[in-house]
Amino acid sequence: MDKITQERISKLHPKVKVEVEKIIAECDAALTGRAKIRITQGLRSFKEQDELYAIGRTKPGKKVTNAKAGQSIHNYGLAVDICLIIDGKTASWDTAKDWDNDKVADWYECVKIFAKHGWDWGGNWKAFKDLPHFEKKSIKTKTSEIKTTWRNLIKLPKDKDGYVVF
């Protein structure tokens, strides 16, 4: 796991940090060729979210998100975006390439591993596909399990570091 990925994982919600480390290790073990996984985005501030939301609306460019501040699971440290790093230096978002020649696209090897751990993939969304995006489906609390939607998360109390309390 590279330093950039480690740094981005360190800012995720404490309930998913170790799990994401395990997922990345499993992805890297499955990818036996030139590709390794990198986290390109993890926790995102409300300010950063609003700046992304403005692209394609009040700022030039193509829309990159439909989520305003507070409406992205990234704002709660429960989502990651990925790319593949080829030969330790070149970023790739190619979902079809099979760098390790095992007859399965490397990207989909990672999709399967995230799914095994209970993460939704933005590539499965119907209206606004987000191929680099993965988010935790739900989190277990002491008394129940909560679906990790922004509508559920925004009303929960926050700890001293700003993470929602489960």
Tens digit of each residue's pLDDT (9 = 90 or more) over 31-70: 998 999 999 999 999 999 999 999 999 999 999 899 999 9
Q: Given this model, what pLDDT does residue 143 score?
A: 86
CATH number of domain containing 82: 3.30.1380.10
Q: Is the predicted pLDDT of residue 16 greater than 90, yes or no?
A: yes
Which comes out higher in pLDDT, residue 118 or 156? 118
The domain of 115 spans: 3-136
Element (H or E) spanning 7, and its range? helix 3-10
Question: Is 149 within the bounds of a domain?
Answer: no
At 72-130, the pLDDT tens digits run 999 999 999 999 999 999 999 999 999 999 999 999 999 999 999 999 999 999 988 99
Q: Given this model, what pLDDT does residue 127 score?
A: 86
Which comes out higher in pLDDT, residue 156 or 7? 7
Question: Is 85 within the bounds of a domain?
Answer: yes
CB 35 within 8 A of CB 85: yes
Question: Is 130 within the bounds of a domain?
Answer: yes
Question: Is 164 within the bounds of a domain?
Answer: no
Any alpha helices (H) in 73-153, and if so which ranges?
Answer: 106-116, 150-153
Number of domains in the chain: 1
Q: Given this model, what pLDDT does residue 78 score?
A: 97
Question: Is 51 within the bounds of a domain?
Answer: yes
Q: Given this model, what pLDDT does residue 131 score?
A: 96
Q: What is the mean pLDDT of residues 123-138?
A: 94
Q: Given this model, what pLDDT does residue 166 score?
A: 86
Kindly indicate the confidence band of residue 141, based on its pLDDT and cuts at 50, 70 and 90.
Answer: confident
Angle, CA of 107, 113 and 119, to the nearest 5°: 100
Question: Is 157 within the bounds of a domain?
Answer: no
Question: Is 166 within the bounds of a domain?
Answer: no
Q: Is the predicted pLDDT of residue 140 greater than 90, yes or no?
A: no
